[in-house]
Amino acid sequence: MNTELPPARWFRRFGRPPRVLGLDVARGLAILGMAGAHIGETEAFAWADPATWTDLVHGRSSILFAVLAGVSIVLMTGRSSLPERERLPGIRLNLLGRGAMIFVIGLALEMLNTPIAVILTLYGLLYVAVIPFLRWRPWQLLVAAGTLAVAGPALLALVTAVAMQPFGAGIGFVLYGSYPITVWMAFVFAGMALGRLRVDSIRTAWWALATGLVLAVTGYGLGAIVPSRAVAEAEPARGWEDYPRALAEADPLGAALSAFLAVEPHSGGTAEILGSGGFALAMIALCLLLSRPLRWAVLPLGALGSMPLSAYSLHVTTVALLGGPGGFFQSNAFWAATAVGLLLIATLWSMFAGRGPLERLVGWAAQAMAAPRAGPAHRVEA
């Protein structure tokens, strides 16, 4: 008879293979970073002033979250091996159900009317958008990520200028705003490539750290050496007769160059994608490397990262309850309280209840969607 108490069993078993503790730790840091970006009081970053380093949470935390989404998708669909073709129908339905439920959760959080740019609606969409690429090899995913990173922002800016700033519900959601899918798919592809390269391997972690540092230096160096310039907004054209004047004011080539050099958080520029994407990759690598020797110390972060949807949703809900509809406030004290509260709640929940509540809900939706096509032997790992 097993008389081991749940806390002792949890400390001994949590984060052990096949789970990768380092990834959970990185997700936990991403959650705390996004909370800081939402409610923290930060100053403009300066290397020489450590008091400003909290500014690093802006933009980079959500990018870290997106890269980890790509890794998670791979872990659910075969890890380092490509999914077998006969399993693809069930896997696609699983991802469709998972993405739909995450999208619905995101909509519910947006209905709370906080000033937070909720990432979960895009997050759910990404689970669906990757379906055609599930059998792509790492080099194909890296080429796609690189192409989107280098050419995507400039091409989007060029087309936008030539088309005179088009807008609609569809393109407004997937192309503009804080999370344009053309940018965020680059991060997801990079994460998928990392997952296919045996993300639990020490050798892979060291390569990821080196690659991330090179990308970060390249991106931030590009943005610092050749600062992007602001492009003046042109008055919209009114018919073909007015189009040449409006096109000249829009300066499509200048807009494309500015998009390539943009490095500010959520600018969606090539410099930001390379710099912040490299930062995220280096952070994941450090978490993978340090989580082994520091396992006991990072377990609370790992618990938080094992239930990111629940933790993120709880954070947004507390902001709504304290700030009221449409209310906005910033407080480092509340950020610290949020961090401590989330770490404590996640640890206790993981210890006594296991998976987070919203993770259970998303897993149920995924399995319910895939059940008609995936028998018991072909269920996708949650």
Question: pLDDT tens digit string along 129-142?
Answer: 999 999 999 999 99
DSSP 85: G
- In this structure, the number of other CB atoms found within 10 A of the CB of residue 240 comes to 7
In whole angstroms, what separates CA 122 from the centre of its chain?
9
DSSP 10: H
Average pLDDT, the chain: 90
Share of the chain above pLDDT 90, in %: 71
Token readout for 357 is: 């509540």
**What is the pLDDT, as a whole number, of residue 246?**
86
> 325 or 286, which is more confident?
286
pTM of the model: 0.92
327: confidence class by pLDDT, cuts 50, 70, 90: confident
Q: Is the pLDDT of residue 368 over 70?
A: yes
> 42 or 373, which is more confident?
42
Cα-Cα end-to-end distance for the chain = 29
The dihedral over CA atoms of 301, 65, 139, 181, expressed in degrees to the nearest 10, equals 170
Locate the DSSP E strands across 147-234. Answer: none
Q: Is the pLDDT of residue 1 over 70?
A: no
d(CA 30, CA 301): 10
**What is the pLDDT, as a whole number, of residue 145?**
97
d(CA 238, CA 245): 10
**What is the pLDDT, as a whole number, of residue 232?**
55
Question: pLDDT tens digit string along 306-316?
Answer: 999 999 999 99
**What is the pLDDT, as a whole number, of residue 351?**
95
d(CA 146, CA 187): 10
Amino acid in position 118: V
**What is the pLDDT, as a whole number, of residue 229?**
58
